[in-house]
Every structure is written in C-alpha cells, then in structure tokens.
Amino acid sequence: MKLWEKIEIITPYPAAYIRELDAIVIADLHLGYEGIMAEQGIFVPKVQFEQEMRTLKSILEQKDASTIIVCGDVKHEFSETSYHEFVEVSDFLGFLGERFDEVLVLKGNHDNYLIRITRKHGAKLFDELEMDDFYFLHGHRAPPSLSKSRSGYVVMGHEHPSIALFDEVGTKEKVDCFLYGRMKDKRLLVLPAFSTLAGGSEVNLIPREELLSPVLREMTNIDELKAVGISVEVGCLPLPELWKLKV
C-alpha cells in the first residue's frame, strides 16, 4: 500500500519500503524481551525471535532490497546487554549482514552497549541519519538537527502506535498501526513495533501529553495524522485522521 509516491507499506507487515533508497525500514524489535521478563519473575514463552524472523523472511519474499534500516530499539534491556539479548541480537544482525548489502541501525533508548555487536557484524550505528530526502531517527528525543533538516520525509519508531477500535456493543479491538501525515514542512511516518510482545500506545485514546515521543508531543499535531491498521489476518486497514477516531 502506497502512503506517498516515495514510501509504501509492505502489506501486511510492520515494515515500509523506500524505493529511492532500495531500503526496507523497521523499528522496535525489543529482542531479549522474554529473558528480561524472566529475570523479573514474569514467565513469557520464548517465541518472539522466531516470530520476528519469520516475518522478516516473509517481507523479503516481497521486497528484494539491498538495504535495511532499523529505527531503534533492537534490544529490550536498558542496561548492559544480557546473554540472551546478545545471542538474539547477534543472530539477527548476522542474518541481516548475509542478506543485505548495507545494514543501518538507529540507536534507540533501549540500545545501550549495542555498538559492540553492530561492529562485530558490520552494521553501521547512528544517532540520527539523513539520506537523500529522508531523515531517520528512533524518536525518543527531538534532536536539534531534525528542525534544521531540509529532508522532506521523517521516519521514526519508538511510539509503538496502535489504534483502539470499538464495535457497536463497545467491545474493543487493539490494532497496531502506521501513523503518517504532515509535520510542519515535512511528511512524517511513525512505524509500528516489529516486536510481537512489546505493548503499544493507543494513540486515539491517550492524551497528547502522555505520548512517548517528544517528536509527536511537541513538533506534530498528532490529531491530524492518519492511521493505517496492520495485521496478517486483515492486511492494511486505511483509517482517517486521529481526531475522527477519538472516543
């Protein structure tokens, strides 16, 4: 599904494709999630890595891209990389290194100590990245370079956006989504989380001041952004501006 001439959703997956860069873009994998939960006494079946790898391989069946851009939060733990994170992140980056000519990673707020693993696998790590007409960042902060950038498109993660939809009897369904629209003189795309376990922000329900990203809180009129719900069962579900979905 095309969002704009230069960016399309790789239906029905939480990934975008930029033809001009021949790049697949994803965000928020949160690898190692189950191990960190286990350390906190919460048992979560260890399934996320395999699920994410299956999704990635399905994406690659559709788009034979030369570049992949990961917009932050490859790992889940804030502190030094644990053993289970190291194994999953290393296996993931190893796969990307074999499959893509270029692997570009934006550092997220969970990605402390990631540089040792990215160097090992030849991936390039950035705080923010400008390529041609595109500005990539994770979204946990609003860097000064974003306001100064002449790029026409901004692509980010961090928010894990989802939409709460209600049927006629009030039953709620939560659907992961892309957000897209204008951000002053730029076009903004917020990616859904690639993670199958990390929860998201129901962006049509929570107040503006409780959004995770300062880019959305301070630099964007989020109510004017449109959403595209995404699921393997339904595919892409185009939705109107968020103000029309408020309840």
What 3-state class would DSSP assign to 233? coil
Q: Is 1.10.287 the CATH number for 7-245?
A: no
| Residue 87 pLDDT | 84
Q: What is the pLDDT of residues 226-235, one digit of tens each?
A: 999 998 888 9
CB atoms within 10 A of CB 9: 23
Confidence category of residue 48, pLDDT binned at 50, 70, 90: confident
**pTM, full prediction:** 0.92
- What is the structure's pLDDT at 78? 47
Residue 17 contacts residue 1 (beta carbons within 8 Å): no
pLDDT tens-digit readout, 154-164: 999 999 999 99
Residue ranges of the domains in the chain? 7-245
Q: Which residue type is seen at 215?
A: V
CA distance 24 to 91: 19
Cα–chain-centroid distance for residue 120?
A: 23
**181-201 pLDDT, tens per residue?**
999 999 999 999 999 887 788
pLDDT for position 160: 95
| pLDDT at 111 (0 to 100) | 66
What's residue 233's pLDDT? 85
Tokens coding 34: 């189950």
Residue 33, φ and ψ in degrees, nearest 5: -55, -50
Using CB atoms within 10 Å of the CB of residue 222, give its burial: 0 to 12 exposed, 13 to 18 middle, 19+ buried.
buried
The contacts of residue 50 (CB under 8 Å, 6+ apart) are none
Q: Confidence band (pLDDT; 50, 70, 90) for 86? A: confident
Quote the pLDDT of residue 117: 87
